[in-house]
Amino acid sequence: MIIALTGTPGSGKTTLAEALSQKGLSIASAQEIAERHQCILGKDEQRNSMIIDTDCLDTVLSSYDPVSDCLIIEGHIAQVLKTVKYVIVLRCHPNVLTKRLQEKYWPEKKIKENIASEVLGVILSEAIEVHGIGKVVELDSSQKSIQELTDIIVRLVRNSMKDMTLYQPGTIDWLPVLLQKEYSWMVDENGT
Ligand SMILES: Nc1ncnc2c1ncn2[C@@H]1O[C@H](COP(=O)(O)OP(=O)(O)OP(=O)(O)O)[C@@H](O)[C@H]1O
Ligand SMILES: [Mg+2]
């Protein structure tokens, strides 16, 4: 089975994927597979990122043997892939996410775009829309350490995702941050 590990940029996908790989799980990056198999539609100049052809990536992934193993596909588009059976969405409190993206020296405009996306739960909504709520879990990477997240995912995978209802979406809500002054730009109709 293929499991998507997704989340807003800065939510911790790559760091967690590396920790999971050290625990013996098979991990692949959606972008790396897409590049290797020419599943790239072009470059998003504004965001300085590749536009991945997700249909092409699904075709590549459909030849993966689903019985023998579990493969975790990491990337912020992994939730829209139809070949994935379950989706793990990493969430991150906007205060923590802002700090993490600032540490990556991201420009303010790009940080705000991603904070808005995280507050609105865009990736989680996409995951639920494509796969249904019963196939999706969400984990808070601003509350849980990489070690804790690794332990949870290793346990879930080893148990064929049977305990996933423990992490059902619906417990994480960042909308109350909109009442704070530092997020007023999100509700200001003049935008940034
Ligand atoms: N659970 C966590 N606890 C503390 N720090 C974390 C946690 N998860 C990630 N981080 C830190 O957050 C930063 C961003 O993590 P990472 O680069 O893995 O995010 P990402 O989701 O892969 O981002 P991108 O989509 O831009 O590749 C890193 O400095 C990492 O050490
Ligand atoms: Mg990453």
Ligand nearest to the CA of 139: 1
115 with 94: CB under 8 angstroms? Answer: yes
Regarding the beta carbon of 12 and ligand 1, being less than 6 Å apart is answered yes
Please determine, looking at this structure, whether the domain spanning 2-94+123-174 carries the CATH number 3.40.50.300.
yes
118 with 8: CB under 8 angstroms? Answer: yes
Q: Tens digit of pLDDT for each residue in 89-140?
A: 999 999 999 999 999 999 999 999 999 999 999 999 999 999 999 999 999 9
Q: Tens digit of pLDDT for each residue in 38-51?
A: 999 999 887 778 99
- Pocket-testing residue among 6, 13, 15, ligand 1, by greatest number of atoms within 8 A of Cβ: 15
pTM for the whole structure: 0.96
- The shares of helix, strand and coil residues in the chain, as percent rounded to the nearest 5, are 50, 20, 35
Regarding the beta carbon of 75 and ligand 1, being less than 6 Å apart is answered no
Dist CA 28 CA 18 (whole Å): 10
Q: CA separation (Å) from 17 to 10, 24, 86?
A: 13, 11, 16
